[in-house]
Amino acid sequence: MNSVEEFYNDLMQQIYVSADIGEDFKVSQFFDKTMEYLLEDGTVADYTYLPYKKTGMRVDGYELIEDREILNLFICDFEDDKEMGTLTKSDIDLGIKRITKFFTQSIEKRFYESLEETSPGYAIAYFLYTNNERFHTVNIILVSNRQLSKLVKKLPSGQLENYKVTYDIWDINRFFEIETSKNKKETLVIDLENELNAVIPSLPAHISASPYPSYLSVVSGELLAQLYEEYGSKLLESNVRSFLQFRAKINKGIRKTINEEPSMFFAYNNGITATAEEVVLNEKNEIISMKNFQIVNGGQTTASLFNTKKVDKVDLADIFVQMKLTVINDEKVNGIVPNIAKYANTQNKVSDADFFSNDIYHIRMEEKSRRIWAPAKEGEMKGTKWFYERARGQYLEVQSKLTDAKKREFKVAHPKAQMFSKTDLAKYLMVWENKPHIVSRGAQKNFKAFGEIIVPIWNKSDQKFNDMYFKHTVAKIIIFKTCDYMIFREPWYGGYKANVVAYTLSTLSYILEKKKKSINFTEIWKRQEVPAYFIRELKHISKFINDYITNTPENFTNVSEWCKKDVCWTKLKDILDHTDQLTLSDEFLDHMITKEEMKQEAKDAEEDQNIENAMELLKKMYKLSPDTWKEMIQWGIEKNLLAQNQIQFLNLIPRGKYPSDKQSKKILEIILYLEDEGMKSVWE
């Protein structure tokens, strides 16, 4: 992508194809897309979308960062125009005035009492009023699809009713910069010497042949706590950030050492592993500046130092932490940093699901999305593809290498509306795992839970993730998008669309499971749309769900928070199990298939995937280098694992022979046998 104008046009087209039914829906689509950038950047860890708009007041959502006592308040500035507009100082001032008024009215004057209890405005106003002592800093974040005026030189700052207030403006330029940066995050430069009055003593720990310089350092606990207070989760590599999000409590062992034996902290603690794209050292080998510094192991230590200092009011002057810092600044950064995180964290209780973001599951889904053509819809001539964006920016990156004519061809074959990301995928599939309460907890928590479901299944039998799985996934996406689009147009709709959609589809899935029935996902894949009888059923269920979730128990006044609770789903299942308040129509049930039919289809697909897996390995086998064959044979001989006839088989290909199909399968069996016995994989 060459320009911010091109990025703007692409973004707007994506919003238009997702939402052509009203201004409010376009705003919600834009807001969700901007939050994806902020989540990936580490600016936010999660968010709750609760829009409220009235003359003189506006708010679009919030996030409470508990450990740092920060409240993020979001306001959306969206301009529906084909031409990119300019965000002026007066626009910013007006937005800040509106969100500030909403905040002060909510905190001081029980504003929630004047609002309808089922409305999003009530939920966020009530949250602010009842939780006002849990935060001391209010960060107002304005997201806009306009370009910040060059006349705006600085942002306001100050106090607001005993709260420190900061302002953060995310205009189209900032989103474009993230989209086009290689690590998909804003550049973070930490000027230790000038801004924090600190340096980090270091010792070079790499040989001249090493492609990536490394340093061993000792960092003061005070500096680490200060960095975490200033930058928060921006410092944490994405997998570690996900890991910590669910373990926010202070580590008891770290806390005890800080309070009782601070001088022993260095001896007891494992230290931290970090990366940076660039470091600046002075003549004493002290690090004075770091670019895109990331903690890939030791996030718990860093967060606990900050929290212990805050909670126990302790001095960290005697606390020091060892650090291994590797400088990686090339095109391999996105592959190497996650691996460092994974291997550095093996000493801790970090599950495979915590590193699911880089898993082979996503590679397979990407491969299938590039290969499998979806059938043409009725009345259309050509089929299309559903583009799985395994890494942010792939959809645009592919196009950047094409001529204008080829780019047009690509967009016809890969419509923007049929592009989906990792967090999208997790959302679309988790509702069919009957986890609406998890989906309601936000993209990051849901993605983590999705990994905990997928990883064990993959490890047991990766054949389940076959062509049929991909096609059924697309069918589920089509159903989700149809439900999402439909609900917004219903006369009863008043907010909480994301929650209504999640609970509607999980409810449908749950009822069908009880009846030992299944949706014919293959049929929806073939049609590439949801039939009318299906939409009628979704309308019926979603109305019931809306009534259910907005009729909260007495101890829950916030609908959004109620939907996140296990008990919300448990109580709904109890209603479905023991009452006839919600039933499916005979017309709908007549179109369903039996579980036995579904199982047979899945079995056939697994057999096909088994064959496909074997064929892929055979292709790779013929591409192995002569040195690899030599090393493999040598390893097998040294370990006394190979018989003479097996050695002869392994020598066929490197000697220029063309083995028969039977011999090829035998060679493959020998290689897999050696790998099972501990030989390093030859496929990597």
Question: CA of 127: how far to CAs of 62, 167, 262, 432, in Å?
Answer: 10, 21, 39, 30
Residue 283 clears pLDDT 60, i.e. is over it: yes
What is the mean predicted confidence (pLDDT) over 206-235? 86
**Quick one: pLDDT at residue 677?**
80
More confident: 492 or 24 = 492
Residue 161 clears pLDDT 80, i.e. is over it: no
Residue 130 clears pLDDT 60, i.e. is over it: yes
Least confident of 435-439, 452-456, 507-511: 452-456
**Quick one: pLDDT at residue 350?**
46
CB atoms within 10 A of CB 550: 20
pLDDT in tens, 317-375: 889 999 999 998 766 555 566 666 555 555 444 454 455 665 788 988 999 999 999 99
d(CA 281, CA 673): 49
Helix (H), strand (E), coil (C) string for 505-516: HHHHHHHHHHCC
What is the mean predicted confidence (pLDDT) over 206-232? 87
**Quick one: pLDDT at residue 19?**
53
d(CA 70, CA 135): 5
Q: Which of 440, 426, 423, 439 is nearest to 561 (CA)?
A: 440
224 burial via Cβ count (<10 Å: 0-12, 13-18, 19+): buried
Write out the two tokens for 477: 């996406």
Residue 184 clears pLDDT 80, i.e. is over it: no
**Quick one: pLDDT at residue 67?**
83
Q: 372-397 burial, b if ≥16 CB within 10 A, otherwise e?
A: eebeeeeeeeeebbbbbbbebbebbe
d(CA 566, CA 540): 24
Long-range contacts of 583-591 (CB under 8 A, 24+ apart): 584/508, 584/511, 584/512, 584/515, 584/537, 585/533, 585/536, 585/537, 585/540, 587/533, 587/536, 588/533, 588/534, 588/536, 588/537, 589/515, 589/517, 591/520, 591/531, 591/533, 591/534
Residue 207 clears pLDDT 90, i.e. is over it: no
What is the mean predicted confidence (pLDDT) over 632-658? 86
What is the mean predicted confidence (pLDDT) over 268-281? 91
CA dihedral 418, 423, 427, 432 (to 10 degrees): 90
Most confident of 198-212, 327-341, 527-541: 527-541
DSSP structure class, residue 234 = G
Is residue 92 a contact partner of residue 40, using CB atoms and an 8 Å limit? Answer: no
**Quick one: pLDDT at residue 247?**
45
Question: CA of 153: how far to CAs of 89, 148, 150, in Å?
Answer: 9, 10, 7
**Quick one: pLDDT at residue 390?**
86
Sequence ranges of the domains in the chain: 4-180, 189-349, 360-599, 622-676
Is residue 242 a contact partner of residue 350, using CB atoms and an 8 Å limit? Answer: no
Question: CA of 626: how far to CAs of 129, 619, 682, in Å?
Answer: 70, 15, 12
**Quick one: pLDDT at residue 333?**
57
Residue 658 clears pLDDT 80, i.e. is over it: no
DSSP 273-296: EEEESEEEE-TTSEEEEEES-EEE
DSSP 4-25: HHHHHHHHHHHHHHH--S-HHH
CA 417 to chain centre: 19
d(CA 151, CA 163): 28
Residue 616 clears pLDDT 80, i.e. is over it: no
What is the mean predicted confidence (pLDDT) over 395-410? 86
Q: Which residue has the tokens 């020091």?
A: 320
d(CA 15, CA 25): 9
State the Cα angle at 153 between 173 and 9, rounded to 5°: 20
- Containing 201, the helix (H) or strand (E) segment is strand 200-204
Q: Which of 461, 601, 450, 451 is nearest to 521 (CA)?
A: 601
Is residue 47 a contact partner of residue 62, using CB atoms and an 8 Å limit? Answer: yes
**Quick one: pLDDT at residue 246?**
40
What is the mean predicted confidence (pLDDT) over 60-71? 91
- Count of residues in the chain: 684
| Residues ≥6 apart with Cβ < 8 Å to 524 | 475, 478, 479, 530
Residue 187: helix, strand or coil by DSSP? coil
CA 552 to chain centre: 29
Fold of 4-180: Trna Endonuclease; Chain: A, domain 1 (3.40.1350)
**Quick one: pLDDT at residue 557?**
78
